[in-house]
Chain A
């Protein structure tokens, strides 16, 4: 029945995209937290933070973009959980469809919703004087990096959505992901941090991802950060995908 994978995924993605577009509140809450953080750091804390960037919003934006994705994928987990608990997921599984389509639909919906949220956050950043000399190539690299990052976190969200026993639990998995950028180079340079925290900050995945995006947006060569960041994202993507599929098969028939 795998011959139907593409049409079935298209049909089910259309369905879950309607869930996103018809609950405007989830779109707003997805972008409102990162935007609030952006404004808070630019206008309240930013003045007291010393970075090497000319403007703090230029320094800050990459971290805010990662937080946007981390917030966005929590809704992916919740949507999947609601499908499971309402029984509609079982209805789909009892149909003669390519079964993985039910998961891929959520993954593609997550990708579309997060890309929209990222565009909104970047536009708001432009309003508060974010400027970038980056060319098309650098922007494409940033977009590619964020898409791989979104896919990786989305598959983590699928694990949460498949294994949670409550909607709150499904959404809560993303709290550590939202918090992780704070102990990285996203908001302040890591060289002000004390020993062990600094070591953690410099070797956790958020720092190379943030540094690579920041260099690309500043029109500078990202150097090895780009490859380290890409390696982290792809490794996370593969591990999360394998774990999500294992969870799916353990729970399914």
Chain B
């Protein structure tokens, strides 16, 4: 079976600094895999190698069946990159960003594609406003919408919710779940453990240049000693308080 992403022994150094020291990772077709790691662990470096923006020093990586080194054009036709590593154009309007992306992906009727996505991502009203005036959540929704043009089978989401408020984060989560339902393979990098728990079929942890753990959440939990039962008084979390107080507006925006 052909995997969406297959990485073997990937290495990359910046001068003396060895960022990736033999990364092995597999993303099955249609799966959402979360890549966890602290700041500077090399998550973004790995994503950039897989999206053909950087060349690895050693090892192999195949995306959608194509080698990133020898067939970069075929890889680019099969992927899209969003989040921290890919910006939206702040001077253009939301619609102009989508039309530009549709033209660069060479899809027929860029305008119709843009209008459809504006509707789907609740950005129709803001379509003719410059992106500089958008909120963080709207901007990230536009970012994800741009990455869907041309239906790429593999999507890289590089820290898609970093810097977002809790409300906007839930909006982006809902979008990612929707993606997964349509069979798109997703490699998601994040620093937030609860994000990986909420979205991913499998979780891989990148630490000191290697994948130290790779498995489902249940498998990962099984690595620890069996759970002990404790009785604790259940206090509401700050998140519960936040969303209870903002309850009305939350229902309005979370699909």
Contacts and interface: CB of A to CB of B under 8 A. Distances in A.
A14 B79 CA distance: 24
A52 interface: no
B72 interface: yes
Interface stretch (A18-26, A173-181, A239-247): A18-26
Interface string A84-123: 0011101111111100000000000000000000000000
Given A7-B106, A8-B104, A94-B52, A87 B92 contact: no
A88 B88 contact: yes
Nearest to A10: B103
Given A4-B106, A94-B52, A253-B72, A87 B86 contact: yes
Q: Which residue of B96, B103, B130 has the most chain A CB atoms within 10 A of its CB atom?
A: B103
A96 B77 contact: yes
Contacts of A23: 91
A127 to B, nearest CB: 32
A15 interface: yes
A90 B104 contact: no
A253 B54 contact: yes
B81 interface: yes
A23 B91 CA distance: 9
Contacts of B130: 22
A53 to B, nearest CB: 43
B85 A87 contact: yes
B225 to A, nearest CB: 43
Interface residues of B, number: 30
A126 interface: no
A63 B130 CA distance: 39
Nearest to B82: A91
A86 B105 contact: no
B80 interface: yes
Given A96-B106, A253-B52, A86 B72 contact: no
A14 B101 CA distance: 12
A11 B103 contact: yes
Contact of B91 (A14, A22, A91, A92): A22
Interface string B49-87: 001111100000000000000001100110111001111
Contacts of B51: 94
A136 interface: no
Contact of A95 (B54, B84, B104): B104
Interface in B90-133: 90-92, 96, 100-101, 103-106, 130
B89 interface: yes
Contacts of B52: 93-94, 253
A88 B54 contact: no
Q: Which residue of B79, B87, B130 has the most chain A CB atoms within 10 A of its CB atom?
A: B87
Q: Which residue of B55, B88, B89, B104 has the most chain A CB atoms within 10 A of its CB atom?
A: B104
A12 B101 CA distance: 10
A87 B89 CA distance: 10
Nearest to B88: A88
A44 interface: no
Interface in B186-240: none
Contact of A93 (B53, B90, B106): B53
A94 B91 contact: no
> Which 9 interchain pairs have the tightest Cβ spacing?
A91-B86, A87-B87, A96-B77, A88-B87, A11-B103, A86-B87, A94-B81, A96-B76, A94-B51
Interface of A: 1, 4, 7-8, 11-12, 14-15, 18-19, 22-23, 86-88, 90-97, 252-253
10 contacts: A1-B73, A15-B100, A23-B91, A92-B104, A94-B52, A94-B53, A94-B79, A95-B101, A96-B105, A253-B52
Given A4-B106, A96-B77, A96-B106, 18 more contacts: A7-B106, A8-B104, A11-B100, A12-B104, A18-B96, A22-B130, A86-B87, A90-B81, A91-B86, A91-B87, A94-B51, A94-B79, A94-B80, A94-B86, A95-B76, A96-B76, A96-B105, A253-B54
Interface of B: 48, 51-55, 72-73, 76-77, 79-81, 84-92, 96, 100-101, 103-106, 130
